[in-house]
Amino acid sequence: MSVSAPDRIGRFDGRALNVDACLGITALIALTAIPVAGAPVALVYLASGVALAAFRPALTAVELLEARLLLILPALCLFSAIWSQFPTETLRSSIQLMATIVIAVLISQRVRPLTALTAIVAGLLPLVLASVLFGAYRSDTGALVGLFGSKNEMAGMSAILALIGVGLAVSATIRWPVRLLGAAGFLLGVTAILLAQSVGALIYLPFGLGAYLAVLIAARLPVSARLVAVLFGGLVSCLMAVAIAAHFALASAAFLDLTGKDLTLTGRIELWQVALNLIAERPLLGTGFQAFWVPDHAPAEALWTIFGIDSRSGFNFHNAYLS
């Protein structure tokens, strides 16, 4: 059974379009506020998602069946409760992950991309603004933590705001109020990243903006010119990689000098070594999904103490592959 795109977004049914859009927008705005408001907003997100799924159950089944490959990872996380060191925590986190992905699939099918992106900016902008104006700063470095759990989370949310904001701002086909909202989001996001002193976000943001600019330019080129541009870009990337590899010591020194980091990348190398040692203990199955950074878990408590994470939240191995 297949459902056409017009049926999915309700183009032929104004009532369905309005309900789907309202529920999707509510879920997206709630999702942006979960790191700040916690459980109450998470319930709003979950309730909106459940309502979105229940509103058109037959379509929900079709959409999830088509997106079944995306559900493999959360299913594995759910299954890991069997061998988890903290099965209750793993089960709870896995259900949250599964619900988040399911709701995301439904939103992606039923809410227009522009509407979804505008909702995310509308949700993040007041949170980031409140963080800049009234949020907390770290006492040791002066980095902005804002209303979020850590400076890295603050910078991550600000980077999302900046990247989506610039996309809305430069699009000539979007109405000017939305473009102004995007421009405000971009400027505020960049400001918050600078205040958060997140080197990673400051490095990744230009790459994201560059990729977006490349897509904009490529969209205006004929197919043959796009192919040439891709080949040229690949060649330049390879040459840069070779140059960095040939002068790795100089490149590393320049990077550390530019970012103000030490040779351990402010403790990340030691943190990665701990992760590698833990992986060696359980190389196949690991500790279970979200079963490491748990209060009263001795290795996690030790790392929180070493790195001065009193809140016991907003901290990770800073490496998605190792995590």
CA 228 – CA 249 distance, rounded (Å):
33
Tens digit of pLDDT for each residue in 281-310?
Answer: 888 888 889 888 888 888 888 888 887 777
Cα 216–222–227 angle (5° rounding)? 85
pLDDT surpasses 70 at 8: no
Q: What is the DSSP string of 78-92?
A: HHGGGT-SSHHHHHH
pLDDT surpasses 60 at 16: no
- Computed over every residue of the chain, the mean pLDDT equals 84
Q: For residues 175 and 166, is the Cβ–Cβ distance under 8 A?
A: no
Q: For residues 74 and 101, is the Cβ–Cβ distance under 8 A?
A: yes
Tens digit of pLDDT for each residue in 183-222?
Answer: 999 999 999 999 998 877 888 888 888 888 888 777 778 8
Please tell me the number of Cα atoms within 13 Å of 2 on its side-chain side: 3
Query: Model's pTM, two decimal places?
Result: 0.77
What is the pLDDT, as a whole number, of residue 28?
95
How far is residue 123 CA from its own chain's centroid?
A: 14
Which neighbouring-strand residues pair with 144? 137
Cα 294–261–290 angle (5° rounding)? 15
Q: 173 vs 25, 168, 235, CA distance in Å?
A: 21, 9, 33
CA 132 – CA 169 distance, rounded (Å):
21
Give the three-state DSSP class for 136: strand
Give the three-state DSSP class for 145: strand
Q: What is the mean pLDDT of residues 154-160?
A: 93
Q: What is the mean pLDDT of residues 80-105?
A: 93
Highest mean pLDDT pick, 18-22, 74-78, 211-215, 230-234? 74-78
**Backbone phi and psi for residue 310, each to the nearest 5 degrees, phi listed first:** -70, -30
Q: 42 vs 37, 75, 91, 219, CA distance in Å?
A: 8, 21, 17, 38
